Amino acid sequence: MPFLVSCENELVAPAGATNVQTKEAYGACRTYQYISKTSDVTSYGTAYKDIILVGFREGITEREKQQIVRQSSLYKEIVGEVALDSGPITLVQLKARSTCADVEYLRAQLQRHPDVLFANPAFNTQDSEIAWIGLPNEFLVSIETGTQAQLEALAASTNTRLVFSLSEELHLMSADKNSQGDALAMSNLFNQQAFVISAEPNFIFQAKTSGTGEATTQTMLKGTKQR
C-alpha cells in the first residue's frame, strides 16, 4: 500500500500544539522509540523516506486530497488507502530523492492544513517478509478492571479519543495532530500510568510480496481480534 505528502515555504505549528516549531526543528531526522510498560525500549530508527500515512477530515474528496498533497515537490503519488476503525488512512508515496529529514518537514507542513488530521511516518524493518511498518493514529490500551473513568480522564487531558472498547479492559484509542503526541508517543505516555497494563500502537504492516498499492495491510488489532 502507499503514502502521502506536501510541502510549503513557511512552517506553522498545528492547531493545539503546545510549542511553535521552527523549520530548523524539523530539519533533522528524528529517532522513534517505543517504551513498554516494563521500560523495554524498541527503536524504530528514523522515518522511512518513501512513505507518509495521512488522515484527512471526514467527507473530503479524492480531488481535494490530491490538491493538498501535490503542493510538495517530493510528492510522487497516492498509492492506496487503509481502512481502520477510526477512519481511512491515505498512503502517499514520495520521490526517490526524499530523506528522513524531508519526511519530518513534510509531516509538519501537512498538519498545518485544516483538512489534515494527522501525518505519520513509516519505518524500515529487518523482517524479510515486511517492506515497512506504518504508524497510524490508533493505539491499543489495556487497563485494570474498574479504571474506565481514569482512562477517560487521561484521554481528555491528552486530547486523545476512545474509538471503541473490545472489552472492559481493552480499548482502541486514537491520536491526531491536536493530541499531546502521535500514537507512538501516546503509547509511551499511557504506559507510565499505574492503571494501564499496556499500551502500544496499532501498527500497519506492508508485505514485501505485494505491490506498493495492492497489499492488504495487517494491523495489530486484527491479530488481537483473531485471538
- For the chain, where are the alpha helices, taking DSSP H only? 62-69, 100-110, 148-158, 183-190, 220-226
Same domain, 119 and 143: no
Residue in 21, 185, 46 with CA at minimum distance from that of residue 109 = 21
pTM of the model: 0.82
Which set of grid coordinates corresponds to residue 227? Answer: 485471538
Same domain, 68 and 155: no
Kindly state whether residue 102 falls inside one of the protein's structural domains. yes
Mean per-residue pLDDT over the chain, rounded: 84
How far, in Å, CA of 84 to CA of 160, rounded? 16
More confident residue, 109 or 3: 109
Same domain, 65 and 124: yes
pLDDT of residue 219: 58
Kindly state whether residue 88 falls inside one of the protein's structural domains. yes
The dihedral sign for the CA sequence 113, 103, 135, 71? positive
Residue span of the structural domain in which 72 resides: 24-129
Same domain, 69 and 145: no
Q: At 96, which CATH number?
A: 3.30.70.80
How far, in Å, CA of 171 to CA of 187, rounded? 12
Same domain, 125 and 144: no
pLDDT of residue 11: 28
Same domain, 152 and 108: no
Kindly state whether residue 100 falls inside one of the protein's structural domains. yes
Same domain, 118 and 151: no
Kindly state whether residue 16 falls inside one of the protein's structural domains. no
Q: At 174, which CATH number?
A: 3.30.70
pLDDT digits (tens, 9 = 90+) for 62-77: 999 999 999 888 899 9
Kindly state whether residue 218 falls inside one of the protein's structural domains. no
- Band the pLDDT of 224: cuts 50, 70, 90: very low
pLDDT of residue 74: 84
Give all strands (DSSP E) within the chain, no chain letters: 32-35, 41-45, 51-56, 75-84, 87-94, 116-123, 130-134, 138-143, 161-165, 170-174, 196-201, 204-207, 218-219
Kindly state whether residue 3 falls inside one of the protein's structural domains. no
Kindly state whether residue 210 falls inside one of the protein's structural domains. no
- Domain count of the fold of the chain: 2
More confident residue, 213 or 95: 95
pLDDT of residue 226: 32
Residue with cell 473490545: 166
How far, in Å, CA of 65 to CA of 69, rounded? 6
R_g over Cα of the chain: 17
Same domain, 33 and 117: yes
Kindly state whether residue 216 falls inside one of the protein's structural domains. no
Quick check: 21 pLDDT over 60?
no
